[in-house]
Amino acid sequence: MSKTNHISGFAAGKKLHLFIAMFVALLSGFLCLPGKGMAAGLLKAVNGGDVPVSIKSHKVDVTINNGFARTEVDQVFSNQGDNDLEAIYSFPLPKQSSLSEVSLWIDGVETLGEVVEKERARKIYEDQKAKGNETALAEKNDFKTFDISVGKVPAGGETRVRLVYYQPLEIDLNIGRYLYPLAEGNVDEERIAFWSVDDQVKGAFSFHLQLKSAFPLKDVRLPAFQNDASVQKISGNGEEQGGEETWDILIDKPEGLNLNQDIVFYYRLDDSVPGRVELIPFRNSDNEDGTFMVVVTPAADLKKIQEGSDWVFILDVSGSMQGHKIATLADGVCRTLDKMSGNDRFRIITFNNTATDVTNGFVQATPENTRQWSDRIKALPAGGSTNLYDGLYQGYKGLDDDRTTGIILVTDGVTNTGPTEHARFIELLRQYDMRLFTFVIGNNANQPLLDRLAKDSSGFAMNISDADDITGRLLQAKAKVLHECLHDVELKIKGERVKDLTPVQPGNLYLGQQLVMFGRYAGDGEVRVELKGKISGQDKTWETAAVLPEVDRDNPELERLWALSRVDELMQEVRERGETETLRGKIVDLGTSYSLVTDYTSMVVVRDEVFETEKIERKNARRVETERKAQATRAATPVKNYRVDNDSKGGMFKGLPSPNIGSGPVGGLFVGLAAWLNRKKKKMK
């Protein structure tokens, strides 16, 4: 089948005002849904019956510093029954997260878990559980959850468990976003039907976040917890301290909180913060390979694009959309249709077990047609499974070569019927030169697939939580779709034996987006950082110098983040081409070498003598000791600025803000966002 060119680089005009209307209508509805969904909480054991196993306390500590976040969750499980019980704590898989520590308190002493192959870890855990010994197991449930099994919560007693994960964070339009996921995505029907979920914290709940920024901030926000959070700026006086700032956020509930709502934290950099290149290194000694994270925040001149005419909405109407979700989706589409002009055309595809072209092709957006289809859309039922492939296939059929077309996919589920192989989806999309915008509502969705589809089609994927700031998220989306993007992006680092850059293919960059990559190096000294891309078909290149140090022990966690990025790329190959012994072996090696919970490795906690008997090397214990020492040092010192292009000429991007909002077309977007943030801030006082 020949490739059809509908939106090549969005160089031809697009009807993006309609797209913005769709954002406002659909996403605002999703993010203002009444009531709460299921939570990701404690899952009672199969043999527990009605015996109350509960979460006695839940304490979260988050540190955001120099491009990545460390999240520590410390919980106490309580068993009021007469028999020892197993408990499983499950929580949504945070995006790009490295579960790196699981600790169990045995005889009052913390015991750290170690990573081994998944099957072996499960066997050790089951053996120890059967013997009545203290044990715990952390497993990755594909793209959906991390599951922490605790083999023995003693009768009438308590068990304390702690877990730690790391994740890189990106700045988008000068706004950083951290998500602590708790809301159940309601897409794993088998698990929901099987497990009885207890999401109540009987005792104390606390969420403490410390943000250390090397650049000045304008605002910080927690939309869903704005009235519950204590927000303090504890250091930093702008120019007097070079822009470095430290903020302290605390949510403290003495008892009775439900773990059924995500916690979303935003921080906004000052508008004057320039486009820049930051390089954060780690090298333990000069005879070992080093690791680095490079963060590029471009100040590229991305022009506002023109108008177009055709839009295809592909809407999930599967069982998980029942109730208020489907009603809100229908209302959003109807309000979108009302905003279309008579020269526009629309097409609506719905999918569950199969896909249906409910409009039977494109419909002219006359007032009569929009009224008629609004009534029919409001009557759409929800039910069945999720055949995402058929939805996309139907959406791509019947496109008009003479009209520009955009495709918007909105889903909260996973693909669980019809073709599910990633290769089939990628093969379908490669037949068309068209941007696909995917909007993922809630947790537990098939994020690897949806991200890949958006990336391969030169579109973008956006995650939406019910705890998000809808106005801020819409402003971010609006800026992206109203402007050109930097496409065919390449980042090269030349010199000093740099190797193993990941991700290998970074994809496109939209207005305000950062590029975050990891790499390894075997030498030290000056390197050249080169960013290449195309804007409207024109080649662009930016360059700067940086130095890779002989020794720098400040950020040992970067080794795990590099390994996790490599694992993610290898898992893309597995999902696209199928599992091979070679791919599995590489993932297992990375998981065991860097102590990561992956699809093929798990973390098991047992008594010290069992580690010795099983001949499990204490790699993670040594790694954690190194990381905790570095964390203590960083906590006691001012935040370090890792910008490497800060020369007399203004650096790689000549000192321009990123994006260039001083007099550019997105200035109004930031005025609107600033007004929103200030209004919310006044309400807090």
- Render 405-447 in DSSP notation, one character per residue: EEEEEEESS---SS---HHHHHHHHTTEE--EEEEEESSSS-H
pLDDT at 191 over 50: no
DSSP code string of 514-525: -EEEEEEESS-E
| Residue from 272, 255, 73 nearest 164 by CA | 73
Give residue 479's pLDDT band: very low, low, confident or very high (50, 70, 90).
Answer: low
Higher pLDDT, 6 or 350: 350
- Output the pLDDT for position 213: 92
**CA–CA dist 582, 70 (Å, integer):** 31
Q: pLDDT grade, residue 79 (50/70/90)?
A: confident
Model confidence pTM above 0.75: yes
Using CB atoms within 10 A of its CB, is residue 61 exposed (0-12), middle (13-18) or buried (19+)? middle
Question: Using one digit for the tens of pLDDT, what is the confidence trace for 131-153?
Answer: 999 999 999 988 778 889 999 98
Q: Is 349 helix (H, G, I), strand (E, B) or coil?
A: strand
How many Cα atoms occupy the beta-carbon half-sphere of 95 within 13 Å?
A: 21
Structure tokens that stand for 520 in this block: 């390894």
Q: How far apart are CA 200 and CA 359, in angstroms?
A: 45
Give 644's Cβ-side CA count (13 Å radius): 24
pLDDT (mean) for 118-138: 96
**CATH number assigned to the domain covering 276-302+486-593:** 2.60.40
Compute CA distances 36 → 31, 32, 39, whole Å: 11, 11, 8
145: nearest Cα among 207, 206, 197: 197
Please tell me the CATH code under which domain 14-35+306-481 is placed: 3.40.50.410
| pLDDT at site 307 | 58
* Backbone φ and ψ of 401, nearest 5°: -60, -25
Q: What is the dihedral of CA 250, 253, 259, 260, to 10 degrees?
A: -80
Which residues partner with 356 through β-bridges? 350
- The distance of Cα 312 from the centroid of its chain, to the nearest Å, equals 26
Domain ranges (residues) in the chain:
14-35+306-481, 276-302+486-593
Give pLDDT tens digits for 306-359. 555 677 888 888 887 776 567 656 765 776 677 677 777 889 999 999 999 999
Buried b (16+ CB within 10 A) or exposed e, 22-57: bbbbbbbbbbebeeebebbbbbbbeebeebebbbbb
